[in-house]
Chains A and B, each alone.
Chain A
Amino acid sequence: MSSKIISALYDDDDVLLKAVKDVRAAHHHIEEVYTPFPVHGLDKAMGLEPTRLAITSFMFGITGLGFAIWFLNLIMIEDWPQNIGGKPSFSFAENSPAFVPILFEMTVFFAAHLMVITFYMRSKIWPFRNAENPDPRTTDDKFLMEVAVDGNESDLTSLLEKTGAIEITVNEKKH
């Protein structure tokens, strides 16, 4: 396995999408693609697995709901029983309509915040972390595709040129 990486720069998302498909069809391994905005269908073209973030979000929501039920029962029924809406039943079930907005909000709160944190952790974005993208132009209007060199370097370069890359550079792998 070679330790070299070829970076191909594109200036159009449709050209990039076509290039990704061509490169994969030629059995080259695409390490990463850097884009200034989400390109529709790119994850599928690169063969990435579907995200599991939605499943974590559902579990966080359930957690939030469970926490809210426990917490409301503790503060409104057990620890300091409250007379809610002139109906002093002191029962969680009978007072549950009053709790629904809070249950809902806590579910959303847990799901949203924990999902964002999970996304940051999974994407390795945390404070004081340096940007990973190799070319600052990918934050503006250019698209960059990194392909691992496997076999003949010039073959791959010519293939990338054919797909419409406007700039091709060969780098050593950093890690």
Chain B
Amino acid sequence: MYTFSSKLKTFSIALMILGALGIAYGFFTAPKTTDDIKEMMQHAEDTHGATTEHTATTHDEHAEKHHLEHVLTQAQNRPWTAVYVAMLFFLLISVCILVFYAIQRASSAGWSPVLFRVMEGLTAYILPGSLIVLAFLVYSAMHGNHIFAWMYTSIDPTAENYDFAMETKDWWLNVPGWLIRSVIYVLIWVGFRHLIVKSSRAQDEATDIKHFNKSFTLSVVFLVVFFISELFMAFDWLMSIDHHWFSQLYPFYVFSSMLVSAITVIALVTVYLKSRGFLPNVNDSHVHDLGKYMFGFSIFWTYLWFNQFMLQWYANIPEEVVYFMPRLLGEYQPLFIGMVVMNFVFPVLILMNKDYKNKPWFLAIAGLIILAGHYIDIFVMIAPGTVGNELHFGIPEISAILFFLGLFIFVGFNGLTKAPLHAKGNPFMKESEVYHYY
């Protein structure tokens, strides 16, 4: 039975407090009126001594007012974006941990049952995490922030906020439908998490394998339902931020990014728990296998990242490449290219060697870099569409990561204490315990 060490608990609470303070600072320092924006622009001109395009259009007073309002919205979006990126990142990681777990169940994997309780425990974050995201989405729908620009458009051609693209998308992208779908996704994830974990724990004291078979069926159904929900979740929660843009590959790309992050988190927590002596049955081969999955899915992510980018880059159609302009050529370029180094070049080079993959500290370093790389991935998916073409990364963003990291550690490790870490009732347990190669 795992006990949540008070040291780690204090650490996670400290992270949350620190993060909350930083998030508050982000909201507090965000500009309130267009006058603030004017002042900021003036200040930027004074310090850089450059005349930007902004001042070139000052003759038209109406256009200037419109432009200032636009810049204000983007600046006000910044703290919201920081929070949204971090909350989605950790929620999708915990959901994908459940997916990885369900894949092990559905494929009757023999190597992983010693890790099942680690995965089950960490998925405890799905419930609070998704409630926070839902609250955020409801607040956005009430026009509390300006993250989802399509909510402010109209399909009436005479209206000032008329948007031609919404004429074909309005049947899907409308606030009531969007909120109802969001609730459905969350219900699916939370519900299946509850059922699968319940039957897994019931198997511990069972005399037959009824619960084990039930877990199998639940996992298979969950996988099917999950992929449908994830498909539309990615459209609704992420891709709708750039609602003029199209990509059919997008949901799968998001999934690949979050699945490799989820496996990395499993590996990191496993290495941590093993170093504390809580997982006596986990040996080199299990850790090595997690390393192989990290390696393999990193390449899988790269494949999808490149597929999405290369086809649109090659075709060069304006409404498609507009998505890549700030990312490939604009200020986001260091992140957009840098994450390929972190998520592909780096894992390939250091996780290729067999001897490196089963060294816990080596895996931990690789894991932290992969996680940072995939955070950047989600950040680059969202920020150009909400904050605009200028890259801002500072206290609000880092604080949001700290806050949700603290919450994830707090809830996830609390989840680990709920059941013995050794799932003794699993019929594949023996196979997993003696699992050893090389």
| Residues of chain A at the chain B interface (Cβ within 8 Å) | 40-41, 44, 58, 84-87, 97-98, 100-101
In the complex the two chains form, is B306's CB within 8 Å of A85's CB?
A: no
Distance, CA A147 to CA B286, complexed state (A): 36
Distance (Å) between the CB of B22 and the closest chain A CB?
Answer: 37
State whether the Cβ of B309 lies closer than 8 Å to any Cβ in chain A.
yes
Whether B310 and A100, one on each chain, are in contact in the complex, defined by CB atoms closer than 8 angstroms, is yes
Chain A residues with Cβ under 8 A from B438's Cβ?
44
- Give CA–CA (A85, B316) in the complex, Å: 7
Given contacts A97-B309, A101-B310, 5 further A-B contacts (CB under 8 A): A40-B437, A41-B437, A85-B314, A86-B316, A100-B306
Contact across chains for B315 and A85 when beta carbons are under 8 A apart: yes
Given contacts A40-B437, A44-B438, contact A97 B316 (CB under 8 A): no
A85-B315, A86-B316 given; A97·B437 CB < 8 A: no
Q: With an 8 A cutoff between CB atoms, is B136 at the interface?
A: no
A66 smallest CB distance to B (angstroms): 17
Closest 10 CB pairs of A and B: A85-B314, A97-B310, A86-B316, A97-B313, A85-B316, A98-B314, A100-B306, A87-B316, A100-B310, A97-B309
Residues in B neighbouring A97, C-beta threshold 8 A: 306, 309-310, 313-314
The residue of chain A having its C-beta at the shortest distance from the C-beta of B303 within the complex is A104
Closest chain A residue to B437, Cβ basis: A40
Known A-B contacts A40-B437, A44-B438; the reply to A98 vs B316 at CB < 8 A is: no
Contacts of A100 in B (CB 8 A): 306, 310
Instruction: Please list the residues of chain B having a beta carbon within 8 angstroms of any beta carbon in chain A.
Output: 306, 309-310, 313-316, 352, 437-438
Which of chain A's residues have a CB closer than 8 A to the CB of B314? 84-85, 97-98
**What is the CB-to-nearest-CB distance from B292 to chain A, in angstroms, rounded to a whole number?**
14
| A84 contacts across to B, CB distance below 8 A | 314
Q: Give the complex CA separation of A83 and B301 in angstroms.
A: 29
> Within the complex, what minimum Cβ distance (angstroms) separates A97 from chain B?
5
Looking at the assembled complex, report how far the CB atom of B44 sits from the nearest CB atom of chain A, in whole angstroms.
Answer: 31
Q: How far is the CA of A86 from the CA of B314 in the complex (A)?
A: 8
B224 shortest CB reach to chain A, Å: 32
Chain A residues, CB < 8 A from B309: 97
Q: What is the CA–CA distance of A8 and B24 in the complex, to the nearest angstrom?
A: 78
Can you give 9 A-B contacts (C-beta < 8 A)? A40-B437, A85-B314, A85-B315, A85-B316, A87-B316, A97-B306, A97-B313, A97-B314, A100-B306
A41 to B314, CA, bound (A): 49
How far does the alpha carbon of A98 sit from the alpha carbon of B314 in the complex, in Å?
A: 7
Name B436's closest neighbour in chain A (CB-CB): A41
The closest CB in chain A to the CB of B306 belongs to A100
Chain B nearest CB, measured from A67 CB (Å): 20
B310 partner residues in chain A, CB cutoff 8 A: 97-98, 100-101
Residue of A nearest to B309 (CB): A97
Q: State the CA gap A85–B310 with chains docked (Å).
A: 10
Residue of A nearest to B310 (CB): A97
Contacts of A41 in B (CB 8 A): 437
- Report the minimal beta-carbon distance from B318 to chain A, rounded to whole angstroms: 11
Nearest-CB residue, chain A, relative to B438: A44
- In the docked arrangement, what's the CA distance between A141 and B284, Å? 33
Q: For A101, list chain B residues within 8 Å (CB).
A: 310
User: Which B residue sits closest to A84, measured CB to CB?
Assistant: B314
Closest to A44 in B: B438
- Chain B residues, Cβ within 8 Å of A86: 316
- Docked complex Cα distance between A40 and B435 (Å): 13
Contact residues in A for B316 (Cβ distance below 8 Å): 85-87
Q: How far does the Cβ of B107 sit from chain A's closest Cβ, in whole Å?
A: 20
Query: Given the complex, which residues of B lie within 8 Å of A87, measured CB to CB?
Result: 316
Complex: A84 Cα to B316 Cα, angstroms: 10
Inter-chain CA distance A84–B352, complex, in Å, is 34
- Which residues does chain B contribute within 8 Å of A40, judged by CB atoms? 437
Considering the complex, give the chain B residue whose CB is closest to the CB of A85: B314
- Across the two chains, which residue of chain B brings its CB closest to A58? B352
B313 touches A85 (CB 8 A): yes
Cβ of B379 to closest chain A Cβ, rounded Å = 22
Measured in the bound complex, the distance between the Cα atoms of B314 and A89 in whole Å is: 13
Residues of B within 8 A of A44 (CB): 438
Q: Among B314, B316, B437, find the residue whose CB has the most chain A CB atoms closer than 10 A.
A: B314
CA distance A167 to B316 in the complex (A): 72
Tell me, in angstroms, the Cα distance from A86 to B310 when the chains sit together: 14
Query: In the bound complex, what is the Cα–Cα distance between A58 and B348 (angstroms)?
Result: 12
Distance between B406 CB and nearest chain A CB, rounded to angstroms:
39
Closest to B311 in A: A97
**CA–CA, A101 to B307, complex, Å?**
10
Measured between C-beta atoms, what is the minimum distance from A5 to chain B in Å? 30
Q: How far is the CA of A52 from the CA of B437 in the complex (A)?
A: 18
Expressed in whole angstroms, the Cα–Cα distance for A97 and B309 within the complex equals: 9
Q: How far is the CA of A58 from the CA of B313 in the complex (A)?
A: 30
Query: What are the residues of chain A within 8 A of B315 when measuring CB–CB?
Result: 85
Q: CA–CA, A68 to B233, complex, Å?
A: 40
A54 CB to closest chain B CB, in angstroms?
Answer: 8
CA distance A84 to B310 in the complex (A): 12
In the docked arrangement, what's the CA distance between A78 and B437, Å?
51
Expressed in whole angstroms, the Cα–Cα distance for A87 and B321 within the complex equals 13
Whole-angstrom distance between the Cβ of A161 and the nearest chain B Cβ: 30
Name which residue of chain A comes closest to B354, CB basis.
Answer: A54
Smallest CB separation, A141 vs chain B (Å): 24
- How many angstroms between the C-alpha atoms of A34 and B109 in the bound complex? 31
